[in-house]
Protein backbone atom coordinates (compact mmCIF):
# COMPACT_ATOMS: atom_id res chain seq x y z
CA UNK A 1 0.00 0.00 0.00
CA UNK A 2 1.49 3.33 -1.06
CA UNK A 3 1.33 6.51 1.03
CA UNK A 4 1.40 9.80 -0.84
CA UNK A 5 2.30 13.32 0.32
CA UNK A 6 1.45 16.82 -0.77
CA UNK A 7 3.68 18.38 -3.42
CA UNK A 8 4.49 21.96 -2.36
CA UNK A 9 7.28 24.19 -3.65
CA UNK A 10 8.99 21.30 -5.40
CA UNK A 11 9.10 19.07 -2.29
CA UNK A 12 7.04 16.14 -1.04
CA UNK A 13 5.49 17.39 2.18
CA UNK A 14 3.43 15.56 4.82
CA UNK A 15 0.13 17.15 5.89
CA UNK A 16 0.32 19.35 8.96
CA UNK A 17 -2.61 17.35 10.38
CA UNK A 18 -0.59 14.13 10.31
CA UNK A 19 -3.70 12.29 9.11
CA UNK A 20 -4.46 10.36 5.93
CA UNK A 21 -7.43 8.92 4.08
CA UNK A 22 -7.36 5.33 2.89
CA UNK A 23 -8.44 4.84 -0.70
CA UNK A 24 -10.08 1.50 -1.47
CA UNK A 25 -10.55 -0.38 -4.71
CA UNK A 26 -14.20 0.07 -5.77
CA UNK A 27 -14.07 -3.34 -7.45
CA UNK A 28 -13.44 -4.84 -4.00
CA UNK A 29 -13.68 -2.41 -1.09
CA UNK A 30 -11.80 -4.86 1.14
CA UNK A 31 -8.61 -3.87 -0.72
CA UNK A 32 -6.92 -0.65 0.35
CA UNK A 33 -4.86 0.69 -2.55
CA UNK A 34 -3.16 3.59 -0.79
CA UNK A 35 -3.27 6.57 1.52
CA UNK A 36 -3.48 10.26 0.69
CA UNK A 37 -3.14 13.27 3.01
CA UNK A 38 -6.03 14.92 4.77
CA UNK A 39 -4.50 18.35 4.73
CA UNK A 40 -5.41 21.54 6.54
CA UNK A 41 -6.03 25.11 5.37
CA UNK A 42 -2.50 25.84 6.54
CA UNK A 43 -1.19 23.37 3.96
CA UNK A 44 -3.29 25.06 1.29
CA UNK A 45 -1.87 28.42 2.34
CA UNK A 46 1.69 27.10 2.03
CA UNK A 47 0.96 25.88 -1.49
CA UNK A 48 -0.61 29.19 -2.55
CA UNK A 49 2.33 31.16 -1.19
CA UNK A 50 4.76 28.88 -3.03
CA UNK A 51 2.82 29.47 -6.26
CA UNK A 52 2.80 33.21 -5.59
CA UNK A 53 6.60 33.27 -5.12
CA UNK A 54 7.13 31.27 -8.31
CA UNK A 55 4.82 33.42 -10.43
CA UNK A 56 7.17 36.26 -11.51
CA UNK A 57 9.82 33.96 -12.96
CA UNK A 58 7.34 31.61 -14.65
CA UNK A 59 5.36 34.55 -16.03
CA UNK A 60 8.58 35.98 -17.49
CA UNK A 61 9.64 32.67 -19.06
CA UNK A 62 9.16 32.48 -22.81
CA UNK A 63 6.41 30.40 -24.37
CA UNK A 64 9.09 28.13 -25.78
CA UNK A 65 10.51 27.44 -22.32
CA UNK A 66 7.09 26.69 -20.86
CA UNK A 67 6.25 24.52 -23.84
CA UNK A 68 9.44 22.49 -23.53
CA UNK A 69 8.49 21.54 -19.97
CA UNK A 70 4.95 20.56 -21.03
CA UNK A 71 6.31 18.46 -23.89
CA UNK A 72 8.68 16.65 -21.54
CA UNK A 73 5.77 15.92 -19.19
CA UNK A 74 3.81 14.55 -22.17
CA UNK A 75 6.65 12.22 -23.13
CA UNK A 76 6.98 10.97 -19.55
CA UNK A 77 3.22 10.33 -19.39
CA UNK A 78 3.41 8.33 -22.61
CA UNK A 79 6.26 6.25 -21.15
CA UNK A 80 4.28 5.54 -17.98
CA UNK A 81 0.82 5.33 -19.50
CA UNK A 82 0.33 1.72 -18.41
CA UNK A 83 1.24 2.45 -14.79
CA UNK A 84 -1.02 5.52 -14.75
CA UNK A 85 -3.86 3.56 -16.35
CA UNK A 86 -3.61 0.84 -13.73
CA UNK A 87 -3.69 3.48 -11.01
CA UNK A 88 -6.90 4.89 -12.50
CA UNK A 89 -8.50 1.45 -12.76
CA UNK A 90 -7.58 0.41 -9.21
CA UNK A 91 -8.41 3.73 -7.58
CA UNK A 92 -11.74 4.66 -9.18
CA UNK A 93 -12.84 1.56 -11.07
CA UNK A 94 -12.62 2.59 -14.72
CA UNK A 95 -11.97 -0.24 -17.15
CA UNK A 96 -8.31 -0.64 -18.06
CA UNK A 97 -9.07 0.03 -21.73
CA UNK A 98 -10.74 3.35 -20.90
CA UNK A 99 -8.00 4.23 -18.42
CA UNK A 100 -5.35 3.66 -21.08
CA UNK A 101 -7.26 5.93 -23.41
CA UNK A 102 -7.45 8.60 -20.73
CA UNK A 103 -3.69 8.49 -20.11
CA UNK A 104 -3.01 8.86 -23.83
CA UNK A 105 -5.49 11.73 -24.02
CA UNK A 106 -3.64 13.46 -21.19
CA UNK A 107 -0.39 13.21 -23.13
CA UNK A 108 -2.06 14.58 -26.26
CA UNK A 109 -3.41 17.59 -24.35
CA UNK A 110 0.04 18.34 -22.97
CA UNK A 111 1.50 18.19 -26.48
CA UNK A 112 -1.20 20.51 -27.82
CA UNK A 113 -0.49 23.18 -25.22
CA UNK A 114 3.27 22.71 -25.49
CA UNK A 115 3.09 24.73 -28.70
CA UNK A 116 0.54 27.24 -27.45
CA UNK A 117 3.20 29.66 -26.23
CA UNK A 118 4.36 30.14 -29.83
CA UNK A 119 0.93 30.97 -31.23
CA UNK A 120 -0.44 34.49 -31.62
CA UNK A 121 -1.85 35.87 -28.37
CA UNK A 122 -3.01 39.34 -29.40
CA UNK A 123 -3.88 41.52 -32.37
CA UNK A 124 -2.81 44.71 -34.09
CA UNK A 125 -5.54 47.38 -34.19
CA UNK A 126 -5.40 50.42 -36.54
CA UNK A 127 -4.99 53.61 -34.49
CA UNK A 128 -7.22 56.56 -35.30
CA UNK A 129 -4.28 58.95 -35.72
CA UNK A 130 -2.64 56.71 -38.28
CA UNK A 131 0.79 56.85 -36.64
CA UNK A 132 0.47 55.20 -33.23
CA UNK A 133 1.00 51.49 -32.70
CA UNK A 134 -2.11 50.04 -31.06
CA UNK A 135 -2.19 46.36 -30.11
CA UNK A 136 -3.37 43.85 -27.53
CA UNK A 137 -1.60 41.03 -25.78
CA UNK A 138 -2.58 38.31 -23.35
CA UNK A 139 -0.97 38.15 -19.90
CA UNK A 140 -1.28 35.45 -17.22
CA UNK A 141 -4.15 35.53 -14.75
CA UNK A 142 -1.78 34.73 -11.86
CA UNK A 143 -2.07 32.04 -9.20
CA UNK A 144 -4.86 29.64 -10.15
CA UNK A 145 -6.53 26.99 -7.99
CA UNK A 146 -7.68 23.89 -9.87
CA UNK A 147 -10.31 21.77 -8.11
CA UNK A 148 -10.95 18.51 -9.95
CA UNK A 149 -13.22 15.44 -9.61
CA UNK A 150 -12.54 11.72 -9.51
CA UNK A 151 -14.22 10.55 -12.73
CA UNK A 152 -11.36 11.63 -15.04
CA UNK A 153 -8.39 11.76 -12.64
CA UNK A 154 -5.84 12.40 -15.42
CA UNK A 155 -7.68 14.14 -18.26
CA UNK A 156 -9.49 16.82 -16.25
CA UNK A 157 -6.50 17.94 -14.16
CA UNK A 158 -4.36 18.05 -17.30
CA UNK A 159 -6.86 19.97 -19.40
CA UNK A 160 -6.73 22.63 -16.67
CA UNK A 161 -3.03 22.39 -15.82
CA UNK A 162 -1.70 22.45 -19.37
CA UNK A 163 -3.27 25.75 -20.53
CA UNK A 164 -2.76 27.39 -17.14
CA UNK A 165 0.97 26.67 -17.35
CA UNK A 166 1.28 27.40 -21.06
CA UNK A 167 -0.13 30.90 -20.53
CA UNK A 168 2.26 31.64 -17.65
CA UNK A 169 0.19 30.97 -14.54
CA UNK A 170 1.26 29.02 -11.47
CA UNK A 171 -1.16 26.52 -9.99
CA UNK A 172 -2.37 24.71 -6.92
CA UNK A 173 -4.21 21.48 -7.77
CA UNK A 174 -6.75 20.08 -5.31
CA UNK A 175 -7.76 16.66 -6.67
CA UNK A 176 -10.64 14.55 -5.39
CA UNK A 177 -9.44 12.55 -2.40
CA UNK A 178 -10.36 9.20 -3.94
CA UNK A 179 -8.29 10.09 -7.01
CA UNK A 180 -5.33 11.31 -4.99
CA UNK A 181 -2.94 8.47 -5.81
CA UNK A 182 -3.30 9.15 -9.52
CA UNK A 183 -2.91 12.91 -8.99
CA UNK A 184 0.36 12.26 -7.17
CA UNK A 185 1.63 10.45 -10.26
CA UNK A 186 0.91 13.59 -12.29
CA UNK A 187 2.89 15.67 -9.81
CA UNK A 188 5.81 13.27 -10.27
CA UNK A 189 5.68 13.79 -14.02
CA UNK A 190 5.90 17.57 -13.74
CA UNK A 191 8.67 17.31 -11.16
CA UNK A 192 10.75 15.05 -13.40
CA UNK A 193 9.95 17.20 -16.45
CA UNK A 194 11.86 20.07 -14.84
CA UNK A 195 8.95 22.15 -13.63
CA UNK A 196 10.43 24.88 -11.38
CA UNK A 197 9.56 24.67 -7.66
CA UNK A 198 6.25 26.31 -6.83
CA UNK A 199 4.91 26.41 -10.39
CA UNK A 200 2.83 23.25 -9.82
CA UNK A 201 1.62 22.36 -6.32
CA UNK A 202 -0.72 19.54 -5.29
CA UNK A 203 -2.59 19.56 -1.99
CA UNK A 204 -4.85 16.68 -0.96
CA UNK A 205 -7.80 16.86 1.40
CA UNK A 206 -11.50 17.42 1.74
CA UNK A 207 -13.25 19.87 -0.51
CA UNK A 208 -14.71 21.79 2.40
CA UNK A 209 -11.30 22.27 4.03
CA UNK A 210 -8.92 22.65 1.10
CA UNK A 211 -11.24 23.73 -1.72
CA UNK A 212 -12.82 26.33 0.53
CA UNK A 213 -9.45 27.66 1.69
CA UNK A 214 -8.18 27.96 -1.88
CA UNK A 215 -11.31 29.72 -3.12
CA UNK A 216 -11.18 32.28 -0.31
CA UNK A 217 -7.41 32.85 -0.40
CA UNK A 218 -6.51 36.48 -1.23
CA UNK A 219 -3.49 35.42 -3.31
CA UNK A 220 -5.55 33.12 -5.58
CA UNK A 221 -6.47 35.06 -8.73
CA UNK A 222 -8.75 32.43 -10.26
CA UNK A 223 -10.49 29.13 -9.53
CA UNK A 224 -11.25 26.49 -12.15
CA UNK A 225 -13.65 23.83 -10.86
CA UNK A 226 -15.29 20.70 -12.20
CA UNK A 227 -17.87 19.00 -10.01
CA UNK A 228 -21.33 19.34 -8.53
CA UNK A 229 -23.65 22.29 -8.89
CA UNK A 230 -23.94 22.70 -5.13
CA UNK A 231 -20.19 23.12 -4.66
CA UNK A 232 -19.86 25.20 -7.81
CA UNK A 233 -22.44 27.66 -6.55
CA UNK A 234 -20.49 28.13 -3.32
CA UNK A 235 -17.26 28.70 -5.24
CA UNK A 236 -18.95 31.28 -7.46
CA UNK A 237 -20.28 33.18 -4.44
CA UNK A 238 -17.01 33.25 -2.51
CA UNK A 239 -14.83 34.04 -5.54
CA UNK A 240 -17.11 36.79 -6.85
CA UNK A 241 -17.34 38.47 -3.45
CA UNK A 242 -13.59 39.07 -3.45
CA UNK A 243 -13.30 39.77 -7.18
CA UNK A 244 -11.54 36.56 -8.20
CA UNK A 245 -12.18 35.00 -11.58
CA UNK A 246 -13.94 31.63 -11.58
CA UNK A 247 -14.73 28.91 -14.09
CA UNK A 248 -17.26 26.17 -13.34
CA UNK A 249 -18.09 22.98 -15.22
CA UNK A 250 -20.88 21.11 -13.48
CA UNK A 251 -23.76 18.75 -14.17
CA UNK A 252 -25.43 17.40 -17.26
CA UNK A 253 -28.64 15.61 -18.24
CA UNK A 254 -27.72 14.77 -21.78
CA UNK A 255 -30.33 13.73 -24.31
CA UNK A 256 -30.12 11.76 -27.53
CA UNK A 257 -32.90 12.00 -30.09
CA UNK A 258 -33.27 8.96 -32.34
CA UNK A 259 -35.38 9.98 -35.29
CA UNK A 260 -37.41 7.79 -37.63
CA UNK A 261 -34.84 8.00 -40.46
CA UNK A 262 -31.87 7.10 -38.25
CA UNK A 263 -29.57 4.13 -38.75
CA UNK A 264 -30.99 2.33 -35.73
CA UNK A 265 -28.21 -0.25 -35.31
CA UNK A 266 -25.56 2.46 -35.23
CA UNK A 267 -27.67 4.62 -32.94
CA UNK A 268 -28.15 1.75 -30.48
CA UNK A 269 -24.41 1.06 -30.37
CA UNK A 270 -23.54 4.68 -29.62
CA UNK A 271 -26.37 5.29 -27.17
CA UNK A 272 -25.24 2.30 -25.10
CA UNK A 273 -21.61 3.43 -25.32
CA UNK A 274 -22.51 6.96 -24.27
CA UNK A 275 -24.68 5.80 -21.38
CA UNK A 276 -22.74 2.84 -20.00
CA UNK A 277 -19.01 3.39 -20.44
CA UNK A 278 -17.28 4.63 -17.29
CA UNK A 279 -20.38 3.21 -15.55
CA UNK A 280 -22.21 6.36 -16.64
CA UNK A 281 -19.91 8.55 -14.54
CA UNK A 282 -19.37 11.31 -17.09
CA UNK A 283 -20.93 14.74 -17.10
CA UNK A 284 -21.47 14.17 -20.84
CA UNK A 285 -22.94 10.66 -20.45
CA UNK A 286 -26.14 9.89 -22.34
CA UNK A 287 -28.90 9.97 -19.73
CA UNK A 288 -32.14 9.98 -21.70
CA UNK A 289 -32.99 8.87 -25.20
CA UNK A 290 -36.01 10.30 -27.02
CA UNK A 291 -37.21 8.09 -29.84
CA UNK A 292 -39.62 8.80 -32.68
CA UNK A 293 -42.79 6.83 -31.95
CA UNK A 294 -42.59 4.94 -35.23
CA UNK A 295 -39.07 3.68 -34.42
CA UNK A 296 -39.48 3.03 -30.72
CA UNK A 297 -40.36 -0.67 -30.70
CA UNK A 298 -37.44 -1.64 -32.95
CA UNK A 299 -34.98 0.66 -31.18
CA UNK A 300 -35.97 -0.60 -27.73
CA UNK A 301 -35.35 -4.15 -28.89
CA UNK A 302 -31.89 -3.18 -30.13
CA UNK A 303 -31.05 -1.47 -26.82
CA UNK A 304 -32.09 -4.52 -24.81
CA UNK A 305 -30.07 -6.80 -27.06
CA UNK A 306 -26.94 -4.75 -26.37
CA UNK A 307 -27.55 -4.33 -22.66
CA UNK A 308 -27.96 -8.09 -22.21
CA UNK A 309 -24.54 -8.59 -23.81
CA UNK A 310 -22.74 -6.24 -21.40
CA UNK A 311 -20.36 -7.76 -18.91
CA UNK A 312 -20.16 -6.04 -15.53
CA UNK A 313 -17.00 -6.63 -13.52
CA UNK A 314 -13.61 -5.50 -12.29
CA UNK A 315 -12.11 -2.88 -14.58
CA UNK A 316 -8.84 -4.85 -14.62
CA UNK A 317 -10.63 -7.72 -16.40
CA UNK A 318 -10.25 -7.19 -20.18
CA UNK A 319 -13.75 -8.61 -20.78
CA UNK A 320 -15.43 -5.99 -18.58
CA UNK A 321 -17.54 -3.31 -20.31
CA UNK A 322 -19.05 -1.69 -17.19
CA UNK A 323 -16.88 -1.48 -14.11
CA UNK A 324 -17.91 -0.44 -10.61
CA UNK A 325 -18.99 3.06 -9.71
CA UNK A 326 -16.36 4.95 -7.77
CA UNK A 327 -17.46 4.63 -4.14
CA UNK A 328 -20.02 2.88 -1.92
CA UNK A 329 -21.77 6.23 -1.47
CA UNK A 330 -22.00 6.68 -5.24
CA UNK A 331 -23.44 3.17 -5.63
CA UNK A 332 -26.07 3.89 -2.98
CA UNK A 333 -27.01 7.19 -4.62
CA UNK A 334 -27.46 5.54 -8.02
CA UNK A 335 -29.56 2.71 -6.58
CA UNK A 336 -31.69 5.27 -4.75
CA UNK A 337 -32.28 7.13 -8.03
CA UNK A 338 -33.34 3.86 -9.64
CA UNK A 339 -35.80 3.13 -6.83
CA UNK A 340 -37.20 6.63 -7.09
CA UNK A 341 -37.71 6.22 -10.84
CA UNK A 342 -39.74 3.07 -10.27
CA UNK A 343 -41.76 4.72 -7.52
CA UNK A 344 -42.62 7.62 -9.83
CA UNK A 345 -44.13 5.21 -12.35
CA UNK A 346 -41.41 4.53 -14.92
CA UNK A 347 -41.31 0.96 -16.23
CA UNK A 348 -38.09 -0.93 -15.54
CA UNK A 349 -37.08 -2.86 -18.66
CA UNK A 350 -33.64 -4.07 -17.63
CA UNK A 351 -31.32 -4.08 -14.63
CA UNK A 352 -32.33 -1.97 -11.67
CA UNK A 353 -30.10 -3.29 -8.91
CA UNK A 354 -26.70 -4.61 -7.95
CA UNK A 355 -25.40 -7.70 -9.79
CA UNK A 356 -25.89 -10.95 -7.87
CA UNK A 357 -22.70 -12.72 -9.01
CA UNK A 358 -20.79 -13.82 -5.89
CA UNK A 359 -17.46 -12.39 -7.03
CA UNK A 360 -18.98 -8.89 -7.27
CA UNK A 361 -20.52 -8.67 -3.81
CA UNK A 362 -17.63 -6.75 -2.27
CA UNK A 363 -17.62 -4.13 -5.04
CA UNK A 364 -19.56 -0.97 -5.88
CA UNK A 365 -21.47 -2.40 -8.81
CA UNK A 366 -24.73 -1.30 -10.43
CA UNK A 367 -26.40 -3.19 -13.25
CA UNK A 368 -26.85 -1.41 -16.58
CA UNK A 369 -30.40 -0.13 -16.23
CA UNK A 370 -33.07 0.87 -18.76
CA UNK A 371 -36.40 2.54 -17.96
CA UNK A 372 -39.32 3.06 -20.34
CA UNK A 373 -42.46 5.20 -20.10
CA UNK A 374 -40.49 8.07 -18.62
CA UNK A 375 -42.44 11.33 -18.61
CA UNK A 376 -41.09 14.91 -18.44
CA UNK A 377 -41.92 15.52 -14.78
CA UNK A 378 -40.09 12.42 -13.53
CA UNK A 379 -36.67 12.70 -11.89
CA UNK A 380 -35.31 10.27 -14.51
CA UNK A 381 -36.01 12.92 -17.16
CA UNK A 382 -34.64 15.91 -15.27
CA UNK A 383 -31.94 15.03 -12.72
CA UNK A 384 -28.36 13.89 -13.17
CA UNK A 385 -27.80 10.35 -11.86
CA UNK A 386 -24.10 9.75 -12.66
CA UNK A 387 -24.51 6.02 -13.08
CA UNK A 388 -25.31 3.40 -15.77
CA UNK A 389 -28.98 4.37 -16.04
CA UNK A 390 -30.85 5.26 -19.25
CA UNK A 391 -34.35 6.74 -19.50
CA UNK A 392 -36.39 6.01 -22.63
CA UNK A 393 -38.95 8.57 -23.83
CA UNK A 394 -41.02 8.88 -27.00
CA UNK A 395 -41.98 11.79 -29.25
CA UNK A 396 -44.66 12.21 -31.90
CA UNK A 397 -42.83 14.96 -33.79
CA UNK A 398 -39.55 16.84 -33.80
CA UNK A 399 -40.94 19.79 -31.85
CA UNK A 400 -41.89 17.46 -29.00
CA UNK A 401 -38.52 15.69 -29.15
CA UNK A 402 -36.61 18.97 -28.84
CA UNK A 403 -38.85 20.13 -25.99
CA UNK A 404 -38.15 16.87 -24.13
CA UNK A 405 -34.41 17.23 -24.72
CA UNK A 406 -34.53 20.78 -23.32
CA UNK A 407 -36.70 19.84 -20.34
CA UNK A 408 -33.97 20.08 -17.70
CA UNK A 409 -31.99 22.78 -15.93
CA UNK A 410 -28.79 21.48 -17.52
CA UNK A 411 -27.45 22.13 -21.00
CA UNK A 412 -24.15 20.37 -21.53
CA UNK A 413 -24.36 17.93 -24.44
CA UNK A 414 -27.03 16.66 -26.84
CA UNK A 415 -27.13 14.47 -29.92
CA UNK A 416 -29.49 13.46 -32.71
CA UNK A 417 -29.43 10.44 -35.00
CA UNK A 418 -30.99 11.19 -38.37
CA UNK A 419 -30.36 10.88 -42.08
CA UNK A 420 -31.85 14.30 -42.80
CA UNK A 421 -29.71 17.43 -42.90
CA UNK A 422 -32.83 19.54 -42.36
CA UNK A 423 -33.75 17.59 -39.22
CA UNK A 424 -30.18 17.78 -37.96
CA UNK A 425 -29.97 21.55 -38.44
CA UNK A 426 -33.39 22.16 -36.88
CA UNK A 427 -32.23 20.23 -33.82
CA UNK A 428 -28.84 22.00 -33.71
CA UNK A 429 -30.49 25.42 -33.93
CA UNK A 430 -33.02 24.79 -31.17
CA UNK A 431 -31.52 22.41 -28.64
CA UNK A 432 -30.15 24.07 -25.49
CA UNK A 433 -26.69 22.55 -25.15
CA UNK A 434 -23.11 23.74 -25.31
CA UNK A 435 -22.07 20.72 -27.37
CA UNK A 436 -24.22 19.24 -30.13
CA UNK A 437 -23.54 16.12 -32.15
CA UNK A 438 -25.22 14.58 -35.17
CA UNK A 439 -25.01 10.79 -35.45
CA UNK A 440 -22.60 10.61 -32.51
CA UNK A 441 -22.78 9.87 -28.78
CA UNK A 442 -23.13 12.70 -26.30
CA UNK A 443 -19.97 11.74 -24.41
CA UNK A 444 -16.56 12.90 -25.49
CA UNK A 445 -15.11 16.04 -27.04
CA UNK A 446 -11.88 16.67 -28.90
CA UNK A 447 -9.27 18.48 -26.83
CA UNK A 448 -8.64 21.14 -29.49
CA UNK A 449 -12.31 22.20 -29.41
CA UNK A 450 -14.09 24.32 -26.77
CA UNK A 451 -15.79 22.35 -23.97
CA UNK A 452 -18.64 23.64 -21.79
CA UNK A 453 -22.36 23.89 -21.31
CA UNK A 454 -25.36 26.20 -21.14
CA UNK A 455 -27.85 26.86 -18.33
CA UNK A 456 -26.73 25.31 -15.03
CA UNK A 457 -24.07 23.12 -16.61
CA UNK A 458 -21.39 25.80 -16.43
CA UNK A 459 -20.47 29.37 -15.61
CA UNK A 460 -20.52 29.93 -19.38
CA UNK A 461 -16.79 30.00 -19.96
CA UNK A 462 -15.12 27.30 -22.02
CA UNK A 463 -12.27 24.87 -21.44
CA UNK A 464 -9.86 23.18 -23.87
CA UNK A 465 -8.62 24.34 -27.25
CA UNK A 466 -7.75 27.99 -27.71
CA UNK A 467 -10.90 28.88 -25.77
CA UNK A 468 -8.95 28.14 -22.56
CA UNK A 469 -7.02 31.37 -23.14
CA UNK A 470 -10.13 33.38 -22.22
CA UNK A 471 -10.08 32.17 -18.63
CA UNK A 472 -6.37 31.79 -17.95
CA UNK A 473 -5.31 35.23 -19.25
CA UNK A 474 -6.20 38.91 -19.11
CA UNK A 475 -6.16 41.17 -22.17
CA UNK A 476 -3.93 44.24 -22.12
CA UNK A 477 -4.35 47.04 -24.68
CA UNK A 478 -1.14 48.93 -25.48
CA UNK A 479 -0.73 52.16 -27.43
CA UNK A 480 2.69 53.49 -28.50
CA UNK A 481 2.93 56.93 -30.03
CA UNK A 482 5.84 57.70 -32.31
Active site residues: 249, 283
Strand, helix or coil for residue 449:
coil
Closest CA to 441 of 229, 217, 186, 270: 270
- What's the longest Cα–Cα distance across the chain? 81
Q: In whole angstroms, what is the distance from residue 150 CA to residue 206 CA?
A: 13
Q: Where are the alpha helices (DSSP H) in 356-454?
A: 379-382, 398-405, 421-430
Name every residue whose Cβ is closer than 8 Å to that of residue 259 and which is 6 or more positions away in sequence: 292, 295, 398, 401, 416, 417, 418, 420, 423
As to burial, measured by CB atoms within 10 angstroms (0-12 exposed, 13-18 middle, 19+ buried), residue 421 is: exposed
Task: Specify the DSSP class assigned to residue 122.
Answer: -
Strand, helix or coil for residue 451:
strand
Residue 416 pairs in a beta bridge with 257, 438
Q: In whole angstroms, what is the distance from residue 442 CA to residue 286 CA?
A: 6
Q: In whole angstroms, what is the distance from residue 124 CA to residue 480 CA?
A: 12
Q: How far is CA 2 from the centre of its chain?
A: 26
The answer to whether the beta carbons of residues 162 and 132 sit under 8 Å apart is no
Amino acid sequence: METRLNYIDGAWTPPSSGTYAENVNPADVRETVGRVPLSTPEDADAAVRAAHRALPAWRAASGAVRGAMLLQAALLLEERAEDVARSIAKEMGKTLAEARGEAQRGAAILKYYASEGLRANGEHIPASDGTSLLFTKRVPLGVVALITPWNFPVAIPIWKLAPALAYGNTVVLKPATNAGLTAARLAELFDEAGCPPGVVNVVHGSGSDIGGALTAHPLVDGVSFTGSNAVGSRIARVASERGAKYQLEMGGKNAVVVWEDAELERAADLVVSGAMKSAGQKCTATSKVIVALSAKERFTSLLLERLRAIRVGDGMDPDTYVGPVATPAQRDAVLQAIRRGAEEGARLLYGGGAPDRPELQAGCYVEPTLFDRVTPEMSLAREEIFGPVLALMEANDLDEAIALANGTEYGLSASIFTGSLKTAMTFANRVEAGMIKVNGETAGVEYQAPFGGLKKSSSHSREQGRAAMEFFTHTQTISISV
